[in-house]
Amino acid sequence: MNASEKILVEKIRQLPAQRLVEVEDFVDFLRAKNEESRFVTSVTKVSEPCFASAWDNDEDAAYDRM
């Protein structure tokens, strides 16, 4: 456990028991947000070849220069 983790754990230990549910909810929210971000990135990378012909054409080149 690094120093930042130790500090965070100590701060959590100092909270009243009823606040621990809020901390857990917030941690779950952050984890879900991180997973969603990774999912969107993965889907974007997989989709790039499918959209390449739509994105890479002379007609849309003007928008690429913006």
Is the model's pLDDT at 60 over the cut of 80?
A: no
pLDDT tens for residues 15-46? Answer: 999 999 999 999 999 999 999 988 888 888 88
Is the model's pLDDT at 59 over the cut of 90?
A: no
Domain positions in the chain: 17-64
Helical ranges in the chain per DSSP H: 3-13, 17-55, 61-64
Model confidence, pTM: 0.56
The tally of CA atoms less than 13 A away on the side-chain side of residue 62 is: 1
Residue percentage of the chain with pLDDT more than 70: 100
Q: Are 32 and 39 in contact (CB under 8 A)?
A: no
